[in-house]
Amino acid sequence: MLYKNIYALTLFFLLGGCANLPNERVEREVGKLAEEQGAGKISWRRTKEADNAVKALINDALSAGLKPDDSAQLALLSNPDLQVHFETLGIERADYLSAASAPNSVLQWQRLTQSGVDGAAVEWGLTRNILQLILWPTNRRVAKLDMDGAQLRAADEVVKLALRARTEHMHALAQQHIVELQVAHTDLARLAFELAGRFREAGNLPLGELEEERTRWMEARRALDEEKLQSFNDELNLSRTLGILGLGNELKLRGQLSELPEKELSLLDLERLALQRRLDLRAAYQSTKARLVRLGSVRWARFTPSIEVGTTTAKEDNGSQTSGLTASLELSLFSQQEASLAASDSLARLAMRRAESLAMDVRVQVRQAQAEMAVARARVEAWKNEVIPARAVLVDNRVREFFFMLKGPFDPMRAKQAALEAEIEYTRALRDYWEARARLALATGDLSLSIAEKMT
C-alpha cells in the first residue's frame, strides 16, 4: 500500500509541478509597471504581423506630425533596442520556467540474463529526489522573485526610453527655434553688409567699416551653419530613438517649449519620491530578497544533499514478480556543501551592498539634477526678466535716434541683432532647464516631472 501512495504522490507532482508564465502575461506586467511611472503602451513584437501593425502606426503618426507625447509613445512601439530588452526578458522567463518547475522523476529499467539459462529477469523502478521536492517551493519562490526583478528592470528601460524620446523631442524643438532666430540674425547681417556696400559706392563709408560688416555677415553665416548642423543631428538622434530611420518619412515636430512652472518640489520630497518609485531600486531589493531566501535553503539542506525514494518491481523468468520500496541517502562525510554555502552567503551580501550603493546613487542623482535645474531656472529668469527687456528698450531707442538722424542705419540693425542673440540664449536656457528637469524625472522615476501643461 505504501508504494501505491508514492505512485500517487509522484503523479500529483508530475501534474502540478510545471511552471506556467506566458509571454503575454510578462508583457502585461511590464506594461502595467511602466504605465504606473507615466510611460505609454508597449508592444513586445514577436510576430511579423505585429511588426507590420507598428509600421502602419508609424506612417499615420508621422503624417500627422509628432507632439512630445507622440514621440514618447512611438519610441515604445518602434525602438529596436527596447525589443532587445524584451527578448532578454524572454530568456529570463525561460530561466524562471526551468527553476520553478518541480524536479523530474527517474525511471530505471534493466534486463538481466544468466549464461546457459533461458529467459531473463526484468527489473524497473521509479525514484525521485525527495530533498529537491521539499526544496521545490523555495526554489519556485526564488525564481518568482528573480522574475519580478527582471520585469522591474524591463519596465525601467521602458521608462528611460520614453523619457529620452520626450527629451530629444524638446531639444529638437528648441534647436529649430534657435535656427529660426539665427536666420533672422544672419539676414540682418546680410542687409547691413549690402547697405554698407552702397554707402561705400557713394563714397560715404570707409573701406575698413565695409570689411567689418563683411566680417559680421560671415560670422553670422558660420553660426547659422553650425546651428543648422546641430538641428540636423538632433532630429537624426530623435529618429534613431523613435526607430524610424530608413522608413522614408519626413520628421515633422509639433509643440513648443513651455515656460517655467511656478513651484518646485523640495529636496526632501524628491528624495522620498525617488526611493519609493525607482524601478531599478525596487529590482535591487527584489534581488536581495531572492538571495536571502536562497541562502536560507542552502543552510537548511547542506547536510542532506540528496535523498531519493521510489518503488521497484522485478519480474523473474519463471513468471514470479516482486515489488518494493527503494531509498538512498547521500552521506555528507567529506563535504557539507561549504562552497555552496559560502557562495550563497557572498551573493546575498553582494545583493545587499548593491542595493545600498544604488540607493546612495539615487540620492546623488536627485541632488545633482535639482542643482542643475536651479541654475538653469536662474538663467531663464535672468534672460527673460532682465536681458530681453533691456535689449528691447535698446532697439526702440536706436530706432528713435535713427529717425531723429542722431544715429546711422547700422545701429538699429546691431541693436536688433543683440535682441535676437538674447532670444537665442533665453531659448537655450529654457531648453537646459527642461533637460535638467528630465534628468530629475529620471532620477525620481516619475515621468510627470518632465511634462508641462503647455508642452503640446
What is the sign, positive or negative, of the torsion defined by CA atoms of 355, 359, 360, 362? positive
Q: Where are the domains of the chain?
A: 2-450
Please give, one letter per residue, the 3-state secondary structure of 43-89: CCCCCHHHHHHHHHHHHHHHHHCECHHHHHHHHHHHCHHHHHHHHHH
Within the chain, what is the greatest distance between any pair of CA atoms?
Answer: 134
For residue 164, count other CB atoms closer than 10 A to its CB.
19
- The pTM of the full predicted model, rounded to 2 decimals, is 0.83
Tell me the pLDDT tens digit for each residue of 36-77.
988 889 999 988 898 888 888 888 888 888 999 999 999 999
Tell me the pLDDT tens digit for each residue of 133-166.
777 788 888 889 999 999 999 999 999 999 999 9
Contact 101, 92 (CB under 8 A): no
What CA–CA distance (Å, rounded) separates 262 from 281? 30
Please tell me whether residue 275 adopts helix, strand or coil conformation: helix
Packing angle between helix 279-301 and helix 267-277, nearest 10 degrees?
50
What is the sign, positive or negative, of the torsion defined by CA atoms of 63, 66, 72, 75? positive
Instruction: State how far the alpha carbon of 141 is from the alpha carbons of 85, 258, 284, in Å.
Output: 24, 48, 16
Report the amino acid identity of residue 30: V
Cell matching residue 391 = 535689449
Predicted local distance difference test score (pLDDT) of residue 143: 86
What CA–CA distance (Å, rounded) separates 24 from 80? 19
Cell matching residue 420 = 535676437
List all residues 6 or more positions away from 148 whose beta carbon is below 8 Å from its beta carbon: 286
- CATH code of 2-450, in short, is 1.20.1600.10
Contact 6, 325 (CB under 8 A): yes
Contact 449, 400 (CB under 8 A): no
Output the tens digit of pLDDT for each of the chain's 456 residues. 444 444 444 554 454 456 678 888 898 999 999 999 888 899 999 888 988 888 888 888 888 889 999 999 999 999 999 999 999 998 888 888 888 777 777 777 777 666 656 666 777 777 667 766 777 788 888 889 999 999 999 999 999 999 999 999 999 999 999 999 999 999 999 999 999 899 888 888 889 888 988 999 999 999 999 999 999 999 999 999 999 886 666 788 998 888 999 888 899 999 999 999 999 999 999 999 999 998 888 787 766 666 777 677 777 666 677 777 777 666 666 656 677 788 889 999 999 999 999 999 999 999 999 999 999 999 999 999 999 999 999 988 888 887 777 777 888 888 999 999 999 999 999 999 999 999 999 999 988 888 764 333
Taking the mean position of all CA atoms in its chain, how far away is CA 106? 44
Please tell me whether residue 325 adopts helix, strand or coil conformation: strand
Matching residue, cell 541632488: 367
For residue 268, count other CB atoms closer than 10 A to its CB.
8
Contact 82, 159 (CB under 8 A): no
Report the amino acid identity of residue 325: L
